[in-house]
Structure 1
Amino acid sequence: MAHTILVTGGARSGKSRHAEARACAFPGERFYIATARAEDEEMHARIARHISDRGEGWTTVEEPFDLAGALDRTDGRGPRLLDCLTLWLSNLMLDGRDWEPETVTLVAALARQRSPVILVSNEVGMGIVPENALARAFRDAQGWLNQRVALMADEVEFVVSGLPMRVKSAPPA
């Protein structure tokens, strides 16, 4: 069974950089499963910066919806960094899809992986209660998604100001 690591934290906390370092510690071809959609110039620039920052040695798989399929297609070849669950959830909700069965499908896919998976997700429920219903629904869904993935993950780390804190450790081998 693969090793599953959830790296969570706030925006610009350093979670992606930390997750990349964790992925690099595993042998094999490295895959970056990207959920972002470049629908405007600002997002194009963000994606380009992410690609430049992580450097060479990564195979990028762009997948805004079918994370289970992307994981299954890349399994057995090396570590996969999935960045990020927050954008994936946003994609689902904005596309009118039901995120709950999609989450069940993702968690089932994670359970059958042979190669390591490092997932990045934002912790969005630590601030004020959002003003509108869609934002509140998103905040709630993100919290539930993170809980489901954290429950099945071997390790969970919370990144604050670039510093990772271990929340859940893998049991001894």
Structure 2
Amino acid sequence: MVEELAIAKSELILGGQKSGKSRRAELLARSWLGQSPAHRAVLIATAQPWDEEMRERIARHQADRAVRVPGMRTVEEPVQLAQALASHSQPQTLVVVDCLTLWLTNLLMPAAEFKEKEAVAHDPHAQTAMFLIAIENAAGPVVLVGNEIGLGVIPLGRETRAFVDALGGLNQDVARACAQVTLMAAGLPLTLKEGRP
């Protein structure tokens, strides 16, 4: 039997690497699917297979998800997140986006084949603005997963500092847009902002 969890209209789940944030999103999706036979769940995955290790990681996540959340469909969209959310959001469908950190990476450091021909599509400010509107206009519940990487020391490199700053800004913008915000640590959820289902 699946534990029935309260599902907010929109929830941002933040945490460090291996903090349990993706697992929490999966638990919410399983709970949603178990609440009604009419319910559906879609995962929008933003990861790109840059190298062999990343390909293996993606394959492992896909296999694990298929076991943990049977029935959740996966859609891959590394850049056009607002459009993907708008096209998959329906009243009976919970949409999980995993993860915002890789999405921002894709926007700030696009693959070589996209750098010139899709410069406008990779504008982080424009994409973020469209994504925030898509969250607000979502017809069904949305669960967003992202990393909280700004809790440590100030990074030494300029590019790394710029990325930490950009991700911190994105997390703040998305947190304001969401009804609920949860911070994961050691697999335990800490509610930072309480929403209503």
TM-score by structure 2 length? 0.83
**TM-superposed deviation, 1:54:** 1.4
Alignment correspondent of 2:81: 67
Q: CA deviation at 1:102?
A: 1.1
SS in 1 for 2:191: strand
Distance in 2 separating the partners of 1:124 and 1:39 = 21
Query: Is it true that 1:90 corresponds to 2:105 in the alignment?
Result: yes
Q: How big is the shift at 1:23?
A: 2.1
> 1:116 and 2:148 equivalent?
no
Q: Distance in 2 between matches of 1:105 and 1:72?
A: 10
Structure 1 match to 2:170 = 145
Q: What is aligned with 1:80?
A: 95
1:69-100: CA deviation from partner (whole Å, max 9, x where unpaired): 11111111510110000000000000263312
Aligned to 1:100: 125
Q: Aligned partners of 1:109 and 1:91: how far apart in 2? A: 19
Q: Which has the larger radius of gyration?
A: 2
Q: Distance in 2 between matches of 1:50 and 1:5?
A: 21
Residue type of the alignment partner of 2:77: E
Give the alignment's Cα RMSD to 1 decimal: 1.4
Deviation at 1:21, TM superposition (A): 0.6
Q: What is the number of equivalent residue pairs in this alignment?
A: 171
- Matched with 2:12 is 6
Share of identical aligned residues, percent? Answer: 43
Amino acid at match of 2:191: R
Q: Which amino acid aligns with 1:31?
A: V
Specify the alignment match of 2:5 in structure 1: none
Aligned to 1:23: 29
Question: Unaligned stretches of 5+ in structure 2?
Answer: 1-7, 34-38, 116-121
Q: Does 1:169 align with 2:184?
A: no
TM-superposed CA distance for 1:24, in Å, is 2.1
Match of 2:62 in 1: 51
Quote the Cα distance in structure 2 between the aligned partners of 1:3 and 1:25: 14
